[in-house]
Structure 1
Amino acid sequence: MNLLSIQSHVAYGHVGNASAVFPLQRLGVEVWPIHTVQFSNHTGYGAWRGQVFEAGVIGELVTGIAERGRLSACDGVLSGYMGSADIGAAILDAVAQVRAANPKADYCCDPVIGDVGRGIFVRPGIPEFMRHQAVPAADVITPNQFELELLSGHHVATLDDARAACDLLHASGPKVILVTSLHVDATPSDAIDLMASGPDGRFLVRTPKLDVSLNGAGDAIAALFFFHLKRTGSTAAALEAAGSSIFGLLKRTAQAQSRELLLVGAQDEFVKPTHVFTPTCI
């Protein structure tokens, strides 16, 4: 499998492509990474060095791949944080080029906008771009609960609310939705839910809630879910594999008291998770 991953990148630590690429490679995927930024470390540290690349660089690199005659071999495009609407437009243009070369290719968009407790943390214009352009163009999206509510315009307090919000987003384009963190009235205080909705049904995985909050986990689970969905064609199987692997990764990271995801040290969790969480149909 060949996947084009267009995301931010850091030299130290694991967010964006630095979080998504290695797990995919460990699973045997040929990843073609295009970086939208190159920073020394993620911005959660409060200080960093590096630069944001111009949107034109994305198109130039995709053109270079096309000139090698390889876009027809690309099975899908993965995108995450978009620093500007211009970068977003360049990503959607790349998706269009890949689909023209391979109509079976899919686009997975992690619609990074904000989070519960933090609110919106992207630049002005990005939420609107996600809602009106990126999400409708995507086959798969991986919002958190905050982003699910914002994109659908539907408040989520119950599982019925979550199902209704997913229905609204399905109607706009995406066939499969992974809600990467969900806490509704039925979720125990010591647990966290993952919900996936696709043409083959709706499924829930509930894992223990770990006392850890790390940058890059969303990037990793989006990549894993997309891969397993492409591999199996099953929403439930993709949820089980991705959710189990991420729980194992986060647990190992918490045990090591690491500020960065333990991607290398916990790499076996991507191949054979220590604990497998079986989805329930909801």
Structure 2
Amino acid sequence: MKILSIQSSVAYGHVGNSAAVFPLQRLGHEVWPVSTVLFSNHTGWGSWRGPVVDADDVHEVILGMEDRGALSEVDLVLSGYQGSSAISEVIIDAANRVRAANPNATYTADPVMGNKNSGCFVADDIPPLLRSKVIPAADLITPNQFELGYLTETDPTDLESTLASVDRAFEMGPSAVLVTSVFRPDREADTLEMLFADQDGAWIVQTPHLPTKRNGSGDVTAALFSAHYRSGATPEESLERTASAVFDLLTDTEEKGAPELLLVENQERYVNPRDQFTARRVR
């Protein structure tokens, strides 16, 4: 499978394309990364150096690929954090150009906005932009539970309300939704769940809840799940493989006290994830 990934890039650490590309390559996919920023490190460190790539320059890179006839070969377009309306327009245009060249191609959008602990941490104009333009253009979206509620203007808490929010997301355009972190009040203690739903049903997988999180884990999750699902794995298989790989990646990173994801050291887990979690159908 050939994947066009339009995301940020950092020299140190693993977020955006610097988190998504290598795991996808280890799965055997051809990945064509296009950078939206070229930073020294992710912004969670508090300071960073390097440029934001101008939206027109990103567009020129896409057009250059189109000149080579490459867009007709793309099976999946993947995007993450979108920091401005200009870059969103470029990404949506790229997805549309790919679909025009290959009607079987799909677009996965990770609508990065915030989480339940920190709230919404993007500029005020980003959520309306995601609601009105990005989400309707996507085939699969990968919000966390907080982002799902923010996007759909709902309040998902338990399983029933989360599924209702997913249904609202369907009405906005996407045909599939991966909720990357679900916190239900009636779940087992110290656990975290991931929910996927498409037009055929809904499934959930539960893992232990790790005490800390590293930047970039959501980017890895969106990339792995999209690749498995787009390659023909069942929803259950896609959830189980993704949950297992990301859990082991985070566990190893935490146990070794690494400040950034140990992405390279855990590469075998992407290809051969342990059979440790079981997804179950909930609808």
- For residue 40 of structure 1, what is the aligned residue in structure 2? 40
Q: Does 1:106 align with 2:126?
A: no
Q: When the two structures are aligned, how many residues end up with a matched partner?
A: 282
Tell me if structure 2 keeps the 8 A contact 1:201–1:281: yes
* Distance in 1 between residues matched to 2:231 and 2:85, nearest whole Å: 31
Which stretch shows the higher mean deviation, 99-108 or 204-213?
204-213
How far has the Cα of 1:233 moved from its partner? 5.0
Cα distance in 2, alignment partners of residues 213 and 159 from structure 1: 23
| Alignment check: 8 A CA contact 1:241 1:276 kept | no
CA offset digits 1:246-271 (Å, max 9, x no partner): 11111111111111111100111101
Q: Could you give the per-residue CA deviations for residues 147-198 of structure 1, whole angstroms, max 9, x where no partner exists?
A: 0110111111210001000000011111111000110112233000100011
Q: Distance in 2 between matches of 1:266 and 1:275?
A: 16
Specify the alignment match of 2:86 in structure 1: 86
Provide the rounded CA distance (Å) in 2 between the counterparts of 1:154 and 1:134. 18
Deviation of residue 83 (structure 1)?
1.2
Give identity over the alignment, percent. 47
The range that moved more, 185-194 or 144-153, is 185-194
Q: Are the aligned partners of 1:176 and 1:235 in contact in 2 as well (CA < 8 Å)?
A: no
Q: Which whole-Å CA distance do the structure 2 matches of 1:184 and 1:92 have between them? A: 33
Distance in 2, matches of 1:278 and 1:54, equals 43
Partner of 1:259: 259
Matched, 1:161 2:167: no
Which ranges of structure 2 fall in alignment gaps of 5 or more residues?
none
User: Counterpart in 2 of 1:193?
Assistant: 193
Indicate the residue corresponding to 2:147 in structure 1: 147
Q: Per-residue deviation at 1:275?
A: 4.3
Show CA shifts across 1:108-146 (max 9, x none).
Answer: 000011111111111221100111110011000000011
Partner Cα separation in structure 2 for residue 189 and residue 150 of structure 1: 25
Pick which of 229-238 and 191-200 moved more: 229-238
Aligned to 2:132: 132
RMSD (Å) for aligned C-alpha atoms: 1.0
Distance 1:119 1:175, change over 3 A: same
Report which stretch shifted further, 32-41 or 253-262.
Answer: 253-262
Secondary structure in 1 aligned to 2:184? coil
The one-letter amino acid of 2:255's match is Q
* Distance in structure 2 (CA, Å) of the matches to 1:236 and 1:126: 32
Match of 1:210 in 2: 210
Taking structure 1 as the reference length, what is the TM-score of the superposition?
Answer: 0.98
Deviates more, 1:245-254 or 1:33-42: 245-254
Aligned to 2:116: 116
Deviates more, 1:248-257 or 1:135-144: 248-257
Measure, in 1, the Cα distance between the counterparts of 2:125 and 2:154.
Answer: 20
CA-to-aligned-CA distance 1:182-233 (integer Å, 9 cap, x gap): 1011223300010001122100100001122110000000000100011125
Alpha-carbon distance between aligned partners in 1 of 2:147 and 2:256, rounded to the nearest angstrom: 30
Output one character per residue of 1:26-65: Cα deviation in whole Å (capped at 9) or x when no partner.
0001000001000001111111100111111121011111
| Cα drift, residue 277 of structure 1 | 1.2
Distance (whole Å) between structure 1 residues aligned to residue 241 and residue 200 of structure 2: 16
Aligned to 1:72: 72
Q: Which runs of 5+ in 1 are unaligned?
A: none
